Amino acid sequence: MKKIVYIVFGINKALEFEWLISEIDTSRFELSFISIHPNEETHLKKHCENHQVPFYHIPYNSKKDILKSTLKIRKMLKKIDPDIVHSHIFEGGLIGITAAWLAGIKHRIYTRHYSDFHHVYHPNGLKYDQWINARSTHIVAVSEVVKDILIKKENVPKQKVSVIHHGIPQEEDNCFNYARISVIKEKYNIPDGKQLIGVVSRYTKLKGIQFIIPALKELFEENENLHLVLANAKGNDEVTIKKLLQKLPKDAYTEILFENDNEALFRSFDVFIHVPISREAEAFGLTYLEALNFDVPSVFTLSGIAHEMVKDEENALVVNYQNSDEIVEAVRKLLANEELRIKLSKNGKKSVETYTTRKKMRKLEELYENVRL
């Protein structure tokens, strides 16, 4: 049995790791987690404890803790003596991969969850990417977009990179209790009887919300029966987004910080919009899969995984980047055409059938199995 230590940074709750714990073959792999986080008591810790997965906590409050955290994890890894260390998130890679390298762990895997962020916004971060890339023995890219950046922009050897897509659990539609939608609407005072336009994105420029709101302002002037729902409504561009929202009628939108019943939230939408501002803005974009899986007719730009599975007029309507006019026309088209909405919903559901947590797990297990001890 191979011992695998997962090193994660800043994670309180993440379904990705909950699914991992539930689905990995425990007859072949023994998991443990090292969490780099300000607080020890997280949802991830509780989940690990409930599934008898060893959990270790490394306190972290600022960049000043990087060296101290690295040395603590190095010492911890020496005691655990894993066969493989698998690090996630940028800081998790910087600290975890470095600690594993210092500890002499032979197999060091890093999952790259971001794309060209440092290339575009923080060039100083590129030297740290190079450090992580050089000291990782293998890198998992979550999409072809990320693979291209690693190989073409950062000169990582091809044989060192594998693409392993994120996935979502596949459940039968008849398992869903549609009364959960009413619970969502009541919880957030979302007006019943209106057509809901959904957006599930952090308030950051990369997500393109600044182009959605002006588009919907025009639509609201035409149709009073529309209501905008913005979930994950926080982020570093919050001031800009709030100013744009002030141009809408106060009762025309609802902001939701976080909703645990993700499926009910998505299924409450009549139309969904996700329009990142560039090809590389999303490294993956799980939101694409969720909207299509939950039968929501959608308007997308092609970013991250969308390049590999979204087709205009087949499973969604595709618009150009940073284009409010095209968003207006696409939403207007969907609202006016029930036949098109039904077609996109049906094809959208079908197009995500291969993006499952089970398939992701089999690919991860294959990667771990191919590691020679």
C-alpha–C-alpha distance, residues 130 and 141, integer Å? 15
Q: Is the pLDDT of residue 89 over 60?
A: yes
Give the helix, strand, coil percentages of the chain, each rounded to 5. 45, 20, 35
C-alpha–C-alpha distance, residues 79 and 153, integer Å? 37
User: What's the half-sphere exposure (Cβ side, CA atoms, 13 Å) at 13?
Assistant: 5
Q: What is the pLDDT of residue 292?
A: 97
- Kindly give, in sequence order, each residue whose CB lies less than 8 Å from that of residue 41, ignoring residues fewer than 6 positions away: none
Q: How many degrees, rounded to 5, is the angle at CA 309 between CA 264 and CA 269?
A: 25
C-alpha–C-alpha distance, residues 313 and 324, integer Å? 19
Residues 183-235 pLDDT 10s: 999 999 999 999 999 999 999 999 999 999 999 999 999 999 999 999 999 99
The tokens for 317 are 């309507």
The answer to whether 5 touches 82, Cβ cutoff 8 Å, is: yes
Q: Is the pLDDT of residue 37 over 70?
A: yes
Query: What domains can you pick out in the chain, each with its CATH number?
Result: 2-167+356-369 (3.40.50.2000), 173-351 (3.40.50.2000)
Task: Of 261, 260, 287, 259, give the one whose Cα is nearest residue 177.
Answer: 261
The answer to whether 254 touches 229, Cβ cutoff 8 Å, is: yes
The CA–CA distances, whole Å, from 227 to 72, 140, 264, 338 equal 50, 39, 17, 18
Q: What is the pLDDT of residue 172?
A: 59
Q: What is the pLDDT of residue 176?
A: 86
- State whether the Cα torsion 132-133-139-140 is positive or negative: positive
Instruction: Using pLDDT thresholds of 50, 70 and 90, give the confidence band for residue 115.
Output: very high
C-alpha–C-alpha distance, residues 168 and 19, integer Å? 9
Residue type, 33: F
The answer to whether 202 touches 230, Cβ cutoff 8 Å, is: no
The answer to whether 356 touches 170, Cβ cutoff 8 Å, is: yes
Q: How many degrees, rounded to 5, is the angle at CA 70 between CA 285 and CA 90?
A: 15
28 burial level (CB within 10 Å; 0-12, 13-18, 19+):
exposed
Task: Of 10, 3, 45, 7, give the one whose Cα is nearest residue 24.
Answer: 3
Q: How many degrees, rounded to 5, is the angle at CA 209 between CA 208 and CA 212?
A: 105
Average pLDDT over residues 241-252: 94
Q: What is the pLDDT of residue 26?
A: 94
The tokens for 217 are 């302002």
Q: Is the pLDDT of residue 356 over 60?
A: yes
Q: Average model confidence (pLDDT) for the chain?
A: 96
Paired with 13 in beta bridges are none
Q: Roughly what angle, to the nearest 10 degrees, separates helices 43-50 and 15-23?
A: 10
Query: Phi/psi at 141 (nearest 5 deg)?
Result: -95, 135
Instruction: Please give the DSSP secondary-structure letter assigned to residue 33.
Output: E
Q: Is the pLDDT of residue 96 over 60?
A: yes
Identify the H or E element spanning 100.
helix 90-102
The tokens for 204 are 């950051």
How far is the first Cα of the chain from the last one, in angstroms, to the nearest whole number?
Answer: 11
Q: Is the pLDDT of residue 97 over 70?
A: yes
Average pLDDT over residues 302-312: 98
